[in-house]
A and B are shown apart, each in its own frame.
Chain A
Amino acid sequence: MQITTLVLMVLLPTLLGFLIILLGREGLSKKATCLIGVITTGITLIGSLILFGKSFILSEVLPKWNFTWIELNQKPIQFGFELQPLNVLMLIIVSTVSFLVHLYSYGYMKGDERFSVFYSYLALFTFSMLGLVISPNLLQIYIFWELVGVCSFLLVGFWYFKTEAKRAAKKAFIVTRIGDIGFFIAISLVFKEIGSFELKDLQIAIEQGSISSGMITLIAILLFVGAIGKSGQFPLHTWLPDAMEGPTPVSALIHAATMVAAGVFLVANTFWLFEAAPIALDVVAYVGGFTAIFAATIGIAQTDIKRILAYSTVSQLGYMMLALGSVGYIAGVFHLMTHAFFKALLFLAAGAVMIIFHHEQDIRKMGGLWKKNRVLTGLFLVGCLAITGIPPFSGFFSKDEILLAVYQDGRIGLLIVAIIAAFFTAFYMFRLFFTVFTGNTKQKGELGKVPRAMTFPMIVLALLSIVAGLVEVPTNSLSSWLMKGLAKPITTHESSIFIPVIAVLVSLLGMGLAYLIYGSKRISAKRITGTIPWLHQLLVRKYYIDELYRYLVIIPLKGIGWLLQIFDRVIIGGLVRLGGGIMQILGRMGTALQNGQAQTYALISVFGFVILIVSLLAGRILK
């Protein structure tokens, strides 16, 4: 099959699915809607798998394809696709998770009135995300980047009748927008420097040294600002936990596996740019490392099951950034892949837990699920073990790669931070696990049931979470494959024995501590928080970042907005009213003449005539 046909096979079904569901939402039954969604994403998945097979197994170099969209000052602006190994890998991740989430949503959203709207948004999101990951130029990336942002906004605010959901949707949109401005400036700078949006041209320009190094650093950092917004890195992370107000399948698909990884993908996709700018790499590494530990500590004190997972996502994305910043290209991308699988699994399992507890999200009100649902417990445990990095689960291998990359890069401080973050990760994940699944059931009454449409996707994801590590270890096939997409090879890391040992020990320590506090309750959680209440409060309130933004940004901005509004009302509005008033007075004078008396009109005509004659005569005499 032609490559273009295959790419169309990947892209078109979801777009068609979106249109069909959107146009047919009155007539289609829920089952038919779900079927359309599943079939279209299924075709997409098959297409991506074929591409993956061609690229990964048959080692074919897939061609890129372009057409000129418009010309600007004789500079063509192109559209097309690129199928480097990284792009193909992203295609696989997106289509797999999207397919499974489409299936899962049938069970999860069954009772919702706007079922078909939900599916149409999901389809649109999948299309946009697929378009994003195969874009060969920055402008196309930006277009799809904004499209996924819109879908995220729509889906976070899906239950718009809830005030929190509405607020969260707005927050998600506005906060990511701040990052997008950085991204936009970066794109503009690239166009100004080289007159093209193509990544290839930029790469060539950098190799030839036609851009000054200061400019490269600036562009790289601004691109990273875009990634910070999308991937929820430190200063702009606040939207991601709030985005959990959306339906859980959305959290799994968009806010765990795919869209939030777009920032990581962007940095990985322009990795040569960052390599050419060591300062930008430093920024990536430090922001990533700080986010990893920062979010992990917040995760400890949260009580909402989805928020814990959200902070865990922020922290894991920080890990990926840390890896990329430490020249661990493979490690970052590898972790992106494994994380997509196990975090999607965890979110879907959390959704199932919420179904069982009738949409309760507070873990303190849950418990004893182990006795009720062994399958779900097993699935959740797989997810926990994978994220904690216990061998032989996939998370172990990718996290090991990251720690190795950081170690080889020589920033020991960051290595220690990463290891401590791993400890916290293990602790909060197993705190969650023990609180929800062991102990006694705290809810009275009948517990909900998990539909089979929800269990199947979780099982698939659990299998992927277990085996995904095998693509890299022990054969190194993933890294050699990904390396083919890079212009110049990156030095691979010597494996070291003590890093994985330390990582596993630290994780086990975290698990053990979580068991002692929340599993066997040997140590009282209350006593610990009692001794350091201020620290606990600090973590519960997420380091007061939201409050800080409120007082530093939102309130001053509101003040400025208020002043501007006064200016608008009084001065601009006053001018407009003045103009209107003058015209109105003139009009009133005009209507006074129109009194309806034909005789008055005749008189006025006569006066006019006399004036005309007199002025004509005067003109003639004066001449």
Chain B
Amino acid sequence: MNLTSYLALAAILFCIGLYGVITKRNAVMVLFSIELMLNAVNINLVAFAKYGMVPNISGQVFTLFTIAIAAAEAAVGIAILLALYRNKGTAEADKYNSMKG
């Protein structure tokens, strides 16, 4: 196995996540997609830590940080989503258009 296949996997995951963020109507699905994108980045970090030009442990340590922060982010995101659901009575992302100029 070499670096390229890991990077390719990460890129595919990232694109799937991005596609989900842009197209999914359900806000929960959008949040899931964001997790996908984050994890794509994590794969990148780990891959570089193992097969990069200067392999060392710090990439994996950063991945642990990112996972922790992603957990916190998911918690905040779901909390906001709940609040929005209570206010607007819907979880459809395209109904949240109060930013309209």
Contact = CB atoms under 8 A, between A and B. Distances in A.
Contacts of B98: 596
Contact of A594 (B22, B30, B94, B100): B100
Q: Which interface class (under 10, 10 to 19, 20 to 34, 35 or more) fits A?
A: 10 to 19
B97 A595 contact: yes
B69 to A, nearest CB: 20
B25 to A, nearest CB: 9
A598 interface: yes
A599 B93 contact: yes
B101 A596 contact: yes
A502 to B, nearest CB: 93
B100 A606 contact: no
Interface in A93-117: none
A591 interface: yes
Contacts of B22: 599, 602-603, 606
B58 interface: no
A537 B96 CA distance: 86
A73 interface: no
A531 interface: no
Nearest to A603: B22
A590 B100 CA distance: 12
A597 interface: yes
Nearest to B21: A602
A594 B18 CA distance: 21
A598 B99 CA distance: 8
B56 interface: no
Contact of B18 (A590, A593, A595, A606): A606
Interface string B46-88: 0000000000000000000000000000000000000000000
Contacts of B100: 594-596
Q: In the complex, which of the residues A590, A593, A596, A603 has the most CB atoms of chain B within 10 Å of its own CB atom? A: A596
A596 B99 contact: yes
A598 B34 CA distance: 13
A599 B23 contact: yes
A295 to B, nearest CB: 73
A597 B101 contact: no
Interface in A389-439: none
A595 B93 CA distance: 13
Nearest to A591: B101
B21 A594 contact: no
Contacts of A595: 97, 100-101
Contacts of A599: 21-23, 30, 93-94
Nearest to B25: A599
Nearest to A594: B101
Nearest to B23: A599
Contacts of A602: 21-22
Interface in B8-23: 18, 21-23
9 residue pairs, one from A and one from B, having the closest CB atoms: A594-B101, A596-B100, A596-B97, A596-B99, A603-B22, A591-B101, A599-B22, A602-B22, A595-B100
19 contacts: A590-B101, A591-B101, A594-B99, A594-B100, A594-B101, A595-B100, A596-B96, A596-B97, A596-B99, A596-B100, A597-B94, A598-B96, A599-B21, A599-B23, A599-B93, A599-B94, A602-B22, A603-B22, A606-B18
Interface of B: 18, 21-23, 30, 93-94, 96-101
Given A599-B21, A606-B22, 8 more contacts: A590-B101, A591-B101, A593-B101, A595-B100, A596-B100, A597-B96, A599-B30, A603-B22
